[in-house]
Amino acid sequence: MRANSIHEVDLVTGAFGYSGRYIARRLLNDGRLVRTLTNHPQRSSPFNTRVDAFPFNFDRPGELVRSLEGVEIMAGAKKSIPVLRTVGTHFLGIIRWALIGVGIITASGGHGALAVDACAAQGLAVPPFSETIQEELRSRVAENLRAIASFANPVDLTGSAMDSDFVQTAQFLSDLPEVDCILLLLLPYLPGISSDLAGRLSLMALRGKKP
């Protein structure tokens, strides 16, 4: 990892990942200086030494702020925002909001709405899903759900959903670049789910890369 001493740097979150590398490459081709925040700063870089890599230091705000010195714009697969020049909970909330997209799966619209509000209060993004994504989700659940469930984010599968509907939906969301983690709310009591669901979801999470 090298340090940039030149100002007006663009920061791309996850520049070594599937989506971030395309943004970083475009900026580099435009002659911009690029830096990245990543969970794996020691990972082999597809850009050799052209991109500075720093770890996510949310638990060490001072180090996080130092890694953002000189950065004017922070870009990612979801959005681009100007970087604030202040330090504190609001600053960290803005950074988290830009970095973390939550996919919400529920069986109740009310609980989904509450979850969106809770995410917003913590500075987390709940990215809306495109019509293409919604149609793909619709095709993965049982036929009886396709006309009554909602496939925007939150995804409300309704009380008629069964184990396979939740597993298929969670698996699809885990592969989306705009979703960094999944919040699954199995409330209220759902007659169609079994005790096997928790194990199937846990196994899926262990095999994947997202919480």
Tell me 44's DSSP state: P
Quickly state the pLDDT bin for 87 (edges 50, 70, 90). very low
State yes or no: pLDDT of 92 exceeds 50.
no
State the average pLDDT over residues 78-95. Answer: 45
**Domains present along the chain, CATH in parentheses:** 9-90 (3.40.50.720), 102-207 (3.40.50.261)
- Decide: helix, strand or coil at residue 86: coil
Bridge partners, 80 (sequence order): 75
State yes or no: pLDDT of 113 exceeds 70.
yes
Proportion of the chain in helix, strand, coil states, percent, rounded to 5: 35, 20, 45
Percentage above 90 pLDDT, the chain: 29
| Confidence (pLDDT) at 37 | 81
pTM assigned to the model: 0.57
State the average pLDDT over residues 35-50. Answer: 81
Cβ–Cβ under 8 Å, residues 185 and 112: yes
Q: What are 37's two structure tokens?
A: 């925040």
Residue of 161, 163, 185, 168 whose CA lies nearest to 102: 185
CA 69, 72, 75 angle in degrees (round to 5)? Answer: 110
- Decide: helix, strand or coil at residue 12: strand
Cβ–Cβ under 8 Å, residues 73 and 82: yes
